[in-house]
Amino acid sequence: MNSFVLQLRRFGVRLTADRRRFAILCTLMAVALLFWTRLIVIKRIPRTALADPEVLVADAEEAGADRTESPVVTVVLPDRPSRDPFAIDAVAYPEVVPPPTPSTGAASQSGADPRTSIEAMRLEASMPPSIAVIDGATRRIGDRVSGSEGLVFEVLEIRPKTVVLGRLDARYLLRMD
Protein backbone atom coordinates (compact mmCIF):
# COMPACT_ATOMS: atom_id res chain seq x y z
CA MET A 1 0.00 0.00 0.00
CA ASN A 2 2.83 2.40 0.83
CA SER A 3 4.48 1.83 -2.53
CA PHE A 4 1.22 2.60 -4.33
CA VAL A 5 0.82 5.89 -2.45
CA LEU A 6 4.46 6.73 -3.16
CA GLN A 7 4.02 6.02 -6.88
CA LEU A 8 0.84 8.12 -6.93
CA ARG A 9 2.66 11.05 -5.32
CA ARG A 10 5.53 10.79 -7.79
CA PHE A 11 3.06 10.75 -10.68
CA GLY A 12 1.35 13.86 -9.28
CA VAL A 13 4.67 15.66 -8.91
CA ARG A 14 5.62 14.79 -12.50
CA LEU A 15 2.30 16.09 -13.83
CA THR A 16 2.42 19.35 -11.94
CA ALA A 17 6.13 20.02 -12.42
CA ASP A 18 5.78 20.80 -16.11
CA ARG A 19 3.36 23.62 -16.98
CA ARG A 20 2.49 22.17 -20.34
CA ARG A 21 1.60 18.74 -18.93
CA PHE A 22 -0.43 20.35 -16.17
CA ALA A 23 -2.36 22.49 -18.70
CA ILE A 24 -3.09 19.42 -20.80
CA LEU A 25 -4.27 17.55 -17.69
CA CYS A 26 -6.61 20.40 -16.71
CA THR A 27 -8.01 20.62 -20.25
CA LEU A 28 -8.63 16.89 -20.39
CA MET A 29 -10.34 16.99 -17.00
CA ALA A 30 -12.62 19.82 -18.15
CA VAL A 31 -13.59 17.93 -21.30
CA ALA A 32 -14.15 14.74 -19.28
CA LEU A 33 -16.43 16.62 -16.86
CA LEU A 34 -18.42 18.06 -19.75
CA PHE A 35 -18.95 14.60 -21.26
CA TRP A 36 -19.79 13.16 -17.85
CA THR A 37 -22.46 15.78 -17.18
CA ARG A 38 -23.86 15.28 -20.66
CA LEU A 39 -24.22 11.57 -19.96
CA ILE A 40 -26.04 12.31 -16.72
CA VAL A 41 -28.40 14.71 -18.48
CA ILE A 42 -29.06 12.20 -21.25
CA LYS A 43 -29.80 9.48 -18.68
CA ARG A 44 -32.33 11.66 -16.90
CA ILE A 45 -34.46 12.66 -19.86
CA PRO A 46 -37.95 13.49 -18.70
CA ARG A 47 -40.42 10.79 -19.57
CA THR A 48 -42.86 12.31 -22.03
CA ALA A 49 -45.22 10.71 -24.44
CA LEU A 50 -46.04 12.15 -27.83
CA ALA A 51 -49.02 10.95 -29.80
CA ASP A 52 -48.82 10.30 -33.51
CA PRO A 53 -51.54 12.28 -35.32
CA GLU A 54 -52.31 9.36 -37.63
CA VAL A 55 -53.01 7.03 -34.72
CA LEU A 56 -55.34 9.55 -33.13
CA VAL A 57 -57.33 9.92 -36.36
CA ALA A 58 -57.63 6.15 -36.70
CA ASP A 59 -58.81 5.79 -33.08
CA ALA A 60 -61.40 8.51 -33.59
CA GLU A 61 -62.75 6.84 -36.70
CA GLU A 62 -62.99 3.48 -34.92
CA ALA A 63 -64.89 4.99 -32.02
CA GLY A 64 -67.38 6.63 -34.42
CA ALA A 65 -70.79 7.01 -32.89
CA ASP A 66 -69.80 5.32 -29.62
CA ARG A 67 -67.89 8.38 -28.57
CA THR A 68 -69.84 10.81 -26.39
CA GLU A 69 -69.08 14.48 -26.14
CA SER A 70 -67.65 15.58 -22.82
CA PRO A 71 -69.47 18.43 -21.13
CA VAL A 72 -67.94 21.90 -21.40
CA VAL A 73 -66.76 23.23 -18.07
CA THR A 74 -66.57 27.00 -17.73
CA VAL A 75 -64.09 28.31 -15.18
CA VAL A 76 -64.41 31.91 -14.04
CA LEU A 77 -61.21 33.37 -12.64
CA PRO A 78 -61.13 36.58 -10.61
CA ASP A 79 -59.46 39.67 -12.05
CA ARG A 80 -57.52 40.26 -8.84
CA PRO A 81 -56.15 37.92 -6.19
CA SER A 82 -58.50 37.38 -3.27
CA ARG A 83 -55.83 38.16 -0.70
CA ASP A 84 -52.81 40.42 -0.51
CA PRO A 85 -49.65 38.25 -0.52
CA PHE A 86 -47.70 41.06 1.13
CA ALA A 87 -50.14 41.59 3.99
CA ILE A 88 -48.81 40.75 7.43
CA ASP A 89 -50.72 37.96 9.13
CA ALA A 90 -52.18 39.26 12.41
CA VAL A 91 -52.24 35.76 13.91
CA ALA A 92 -48.55 35.07 13.28
CA TYR A 93 -47.42 38.63 14.05
CA PRO A 94 -49.76 40.21 16.58
CA GLU A 95 -49.74 43.97 16.90
CA VAL A 96 -47.45 45.21 19.62
CA VAL A 97 -49.06 48.04 21.52
CA PRO A 98 -46.51 50.22 23.29
CA PRO A 99 -47.28 50.94 26.92
CA PRO A 100 -48.72 54.38 27.55
CA THR A 101 -46.15 56.97 28.37
CA PRO A 102 -46.38 58.37 31.86
CA SER A 103 -47.63 61.91 31.90
CA THR A 104 -47.74 64.49 34.61
CA GLY A 105 -51.44 64.98 34.16
CA ALA A 106 -54.10 66.26 31.81
CA ALA A 107 -52.97 69.83 32.31
CA SER A 108 -49.55 69.14 30.79
CA GLN A 109 -51.11 67.46 27.76
CA SER A 110 -53.58 70.23 27.13
CA GLY A 111 -50.86 72.87 27.46
CA ALA A 112 -48.42 71.12 25.09
CA ASP A 113 -48.31 72.25 21.47
CA PRO A 114 -49.10 69.38 19.09
CA ARG A 115 -47.25 71.09 16.23
CA THR A 116 -43.91 71.00 18.05
CA SER A 117 -44.55 67.36 18.84
CA ILE A 118 -45.27 66.66 15.15
CA GLU A 119 -42.12 68.55 14.08
CA ALA A 120 -40.07 66.35 16.42
CA MET A 121 -41.38 63.20 14.70
CA ARG A 122 -39.65 61.77 11.67
CA LEU A 123 -41.37 59.96 8.82
CA GLU A 124 -38.81 57.48 7.49
CA ALA A 125 -40.93 55.58 4.95
CA SER A 126 -44.49 55.44 3.69
CA MET A 127 -45.96 52.56 1.73
CA PRO A 128 -49.52 53.54 0.90
CA PRO A 129 -52.14 52.55 1.72
CA SER A 130 -51.16 50.42 4.70
CA ILE A 131 -47.70 50.93 6.27
CA ALA A 132 -45.56 53.86 7.42
CA VAL A 133 -42.36 53.98 9.46
CA ILE A 134 -42.45 56.79 12.00
CA ASP A 135 -39.47 57.26 14.32
CA GLY A 136 -38.19 53.76 13.51
CA ALA A 137 -41.46 51.97 14.31
CA THR A 138 -43.80 50.46 11.73
CA ARG A 139 -47.27 51.95 11.94
CA ARG A 140 -50.59 51.15 10.30
CA ILE A 141 -53.82 53.09 9.97
CA GLY A 142 -55.47 53.31 13.39
CA ASP A 143 -52.21 52.89 15.35
CA ARG A 144 -51.34 55.32 18.12
CA VAL A 145 -48.11 57.33 17.93
CA SER A 146 -46.66 59.05 20.99
CA GLY A 147 -45.10 62.44 20.39
CA SER A 148 -42.08 63.93 22.11
CA GLU A 149 -44.19 65.85 24.62
CA GLY A 150 -46.32 62.87 25.61
CA LEU A 151 -49.12 63.69 23.19
CA VAL A 152 -50.75 60.72 21.52
CA PHE A 153 -51.70 60.88 17.84
CA GLU A 154 -53.63 58.41 15.70
CA VAL A 155 -52.55 57.46 12.18
CA LEU A 156 -55.53 58.40 10.01
CA GLU A 157 -54.19 58.12 6.48
CA ILE A 158 -50.98 57.02 4.75
CA ARG A 159 -50.08 58.72 1.49
CA PRO A 160 -46.93 58.75 -0.64
CA LYS A 161 -44.27 60.66 1.36
CA THR A 162 -46.84 61.93 3.89
CA VAL A 163 -48.92 60.65 6.78
CA VAL A 164 -52.02 62.26 8.22
CA LEU A 165 -52.11 62.15 12.02
CA GLY A 166 -55.09 63.09 14.14
CA ARG A 167 -55.44 64.27 17.72
CA LEU A 168 -58.82 65.13 19.21
CA ASP A 169 -60.57 66.81 16.23
CA ALA A 170 -57.45 68.25 14.58
CA ARG A 171 -55.51 66.72 11.68
CA TYR A 172 -51.76 67.11 11.18
CA LEU A 173 -49.62 66.28 8.14
CA LEU A 174 -46.26 64.60 8.75
CA ARG A 175 -43.97 64.87 5.71
CA MET A 176 -40.94 62.84 4.73
CA ASP A 177 -37.71 64.84 4.60
User: 120 Cβ partners below 8 Å, 6+ apart?
Assistant: 147, 148, 149
Give bridge partners of residue 153 from the DSSP assignment.
145
- pLDDT for position 165: 92
- pLDDT for position 171: 92
- pLDDT for position 127: 87
| pLDDT over 60 at 140, yes or no | yes
What percentage of the chain carries pLDDT values higher than 90? 19
| pLDDT over 80 at 131, yes or no | yes
Q: Could you tell me whether strands 152-159 and 123-127 are parallel, antiparallel, or unpaired per DSSP bridges?
A: unpaired
What percentage of the chain carries pLDDT values higher than 70? 76
| pLDDT over 90 at 37, yes or no | no
Average pLDDT over residues 32-51: 72
Give pLDDT tens digits for 56-104.
555 555 555 555 677 888 888 888 777 777 877 777 777 777 666 555 4
pLDDT band at 132 (very low <50, low <70, confident <90, very high): very high
pLDDT band at 51 (very low <50, low <70, confident <90, very high): low
Closest CA to 25 of 14, 39, 10, 9: 14
Closest CA to 108 of 149, 148, 167, 165: 149
- pLDDT for position 25: 86
